[in-house]
Structures are given as structure tokens and as C-alpha cells.
Amino acid sequence: MSKKKYPGKSGTAADRRDRSGAGTGPVAGSGPDGTQVVSRRRLIGSAGAAGAAGLVLGAAGGAGGYAATREDAPAPLTTVGSTEAMFHGKHQAGITTPLQARGHLVAFDLTAGAGRKEAAALMRRWSAVAARLMAGDPTEGGQGHDTGVALDAGPSSLTVTFGFGRTFFTRTGLTAHRPPALDPLPAFSSDQLDAKRSEGDLWVQIGADDALVAFHALRALQKEAGSTARVRWQMNGFNRTPGATGRPMTTRNLMGQVDGTNNPKPAESDFEERVFVPSGGSSAYAWMAGGSYAVVRRIRMLLDDWEELTVKRQEQVIGRRKADGAPLSGGSEDTPMDLDRAGADGKLLIPDNAHARISSPEKNGGAAMLRRPFSYHDGISDDGTPDAGLLFVCWQADPYKGFIPVQRKLDRGDALSAFIRHEASGLFAVPGGPASGEYVGQRLLEA
């Protein structure tokens, strides 16, 4: 695997990938899914004037700024912009990739008359565009032109992940290859779902650590859809930007709670079997080997009601301390919950209806999923309340052993339910990563 640097954006895309640049050596690593992530750092002092060019900070009065050659010029976010996720691999990128700062979730429906042949051509085009953009090449599509939106940026941890909805198999004549795990999700009492913002034939998840890079990828894919598919719905999200905290931390959601502490960990022996579909089994579904099932839910948070609670009451609803995410039974964020521990008054320290208790694998027969959400804020509703919350995305080898049993349990008595509303939903089969020379879904569409 080549290790690429992005000291500037002059020259061709190939030039940028091959240029060694100046600074510290590349740092390469692999995720648990075999997806490789490459991070590079360069030092401003040794990069020279050309390496530091382009950074200008507006001063009071509007006209002033730091010269690119000044030794005290602030260092650009080179480590953020130059980090690259690999498109090809055992699993698609965007599943075990660290959370990115910006995200877009978008579903498409195939247009009338578009079938298997057209879908295969679309996935071939989309895969080619995604591979180029994830490598930091801004060239869009087969036209050889670019909008210029992300012209000055590196790959910025861009990931593009593709999935197929249940209806995709009917429209393409592939119902014999539709796995049972794509059966519709059951209804839940807290659902207030908008059908226009739910499901879809095709699903795309885009994530990046730069908002322009993420938008650029979204726009490129929308253009490449052409006359084959039209947008059914789109949702835009965000997370904390890498480097915004003094040390790496679990992200917080818009309720201010640390969110994701009890996620399955890649180091755990059963991580792969919980998150990814194994090889073997029926040949009709062999195309899903190395893939995963994504449950997508737009969950609105009733923030006005939530923020009226005291911090202590919020902690009892969640079952964890707000300050650091530690369980109310004691310890630090990573301390396992002691679900049987009681206080001096004899009451359980983690209440019976606390969200963390009810959703824990211990209370769900070991059921677990890899939660990888984005927050969203779509302005103010007509009633004056914020339209904000969580674009919940969870990954599992089988939703009937992951999301569904946990959500059924939450639906029967989760204290958090009074402060959230599920407004959209989708379930998508996300095939394994493409090998070099393949496009995503090729093993299904050319079966």
C-alpha cells in the first residue's frame, strides 16, 4: 500500500499522491476489519514556504493576515486533512472507521424502468467516484471536471458506504438473493415514522472530517445517479471535530451525555461475529459475506423537556454520570456496570428503567450492536422547539440478534423514551468491501 502525503493541492492528483512532502514519517495502521487508515504529519518548519502556503487568518479590520512564510504561522490541520480511509478491503469503510465530524445519510429509489442492468452500472460509477474521492482525488465522475468545492483539501477521512434496501431486490429481480435479515423491522410503540423519510432502494452513508469534503462527495454521487435513481430522502449530521478535546474522548450527543461507551470493542473476541456477516451458509446470500446490516433511525430529542431536568435526574434516566460517562454504580467510564449494586437506602444505584441498564447486553441475552451515529439540528419547529437529535446508525451481523431485541426491551419501559421520538427508520444490507477491481455489490448484481 502506498503512503500518500498531501502537502499542497498543486499539480495533478497523481502528483499529489506520489509526492513525498516534508515532515514526520507516515503512520499507517489497519482497523479490525482490514480497512487500512493512513495518517501523515508534516512539520511547518521543514516544509518551507510552499508547504505552509494557503493559511491566512483574518485580522481586525479585515485586511491583515499572517504571511505564509512567517515562522510563527499557526500550523494547518494537516493531520485531519491528510488522513485516508481505504475504499477496497474485507469490509466497507465507514463501519469501524472512527466517527467523523460531518456526515450525510441519503437514500435513493431506482427510477421507473431502471432494473438490474442499470443498478449495476450505477454501482460501478458510484464505486469509481467513491474510490477516487476517498483517495483525495477531487475529480468527479467520468466527465473529468470538478465543482472545486473540495479543491484545496486532502481526503479528510472521507468514507462512502453503500447499502441495499428490501425493495431494491424486487426492482432488480433479485428477490431470491434477498436475505431474511432484511425482513421489515417490527413496529414499536414510540414510533412516529414519516414514510417519506424512511427506507429506500439504495442507501449511502458519507462521513468526513471536513464539511466541504463531505458535501463534495454527496454532490458527486447525486450527479452520478443521473436518470437511474432519484433521492428519496437526505439527512445531514455532525460530531465533535477531531482535535477539539485535549485527549481522545467518547463523543457526546445533544443531550450532553457521553454516547457509545458500551459499544462492542474491536479487541473483543466476538466483535467480528457480532458486527459482520460470516462466510458460508446459503449460496444465495454469499454476496453478504463480510458485510453488515445497518439500522438507521432519525431520533428527535425533546431537548426543552430534557433540559428542565436536574443533572441528577438526567443521570438516573441514563444510568451514567453526565460528567464522564461512568456508571452510577461507580468507577470510570470503562468500568463495567454493577447492575445489582444498591445504595445505603437499599435502592439500586442504576435504576430499573435506566437506559443503560435496559439496553445492556446483560439484560438482552448478549444482544449488541455497534452504534455509530451523527447528531443533527434542522432548525426550529413551528412550535418553537429545536428539531434536533440523533441520526442513529447501528451495525450488526443480524438485526434480529442486535437492534430488534434491544429496541423491544427499550420499548417496554425505558426512562429515556419520554424524551425522544423516532421519526424515520430504515434497514439496509451493506455488502462486504470490494476487492481491487471490483465495485460494491458486484457479487450480488452479477450473480
Q: Are 52 and 390 in contact (CB under 8 A)?
A: no
* Overall pTM surpassing 0.95 (yes/no): no
Tens-place pLDDT, residues 110-126: 999 999 999 999 999 99
What's the whole-number average pLDDT of the chain?
A: 86
The segment with the largest mean pLDDT, out of 66-70, 88-92, 151-155, is 88-92
Reply yes or no on whether the pLDDT at 302 is more than 90. yes
Least confident of 46-60, 136-150, 161-175: 46-60
Share of the chain above pLDDT 70, in %: 81
Across residues 368-390, what is the average pLDDT?
97
- Over residues 298-308, the mean pLDDT reads 98
Give residue 136's pLDDT.
93
- 365-398: b (≥16 Cβ within 10 Å) or e: eebbbbbbbbbbeeeeeeeeebbbbbbbbbbbbb
- The tens digit of pLDDT for each residue in 226-276 reads 999 999 999 999 999 988 888 889 999 999 999 999 899 999 999 999 999
CA atoms in the 13 A half-sphere facing the CB of 313: 7
Per-residue pLDDT for 331 more than 70? Answer: yes
**49 conformational bin, left if phi > 0, alpha if psi -120 to 50, beta if neither:** alpha
Residue the block writes with cell 412516529 = 192
How far is residue 329 CA from its own chain's centroid?
Answer: 31
Could you identify the residue written with the cell 455497534? 370
Query: What is the domain partition of the chain in residue ranges?
Result: 300-428
Terminal alpha carbon distance of the chain: 30
What are the strands, taking DSSP E only, across 17-118?
A: 27-30, 36-39, 84-85, 102-110
Q: Hey, which residues are catalytic here? A: 259
29 φ/ψ angles, rounded to the nearest 5 degrees = -160, 165
pLDDT tops 80 at residue 77: no
| 279-285: average pLDDT | 92
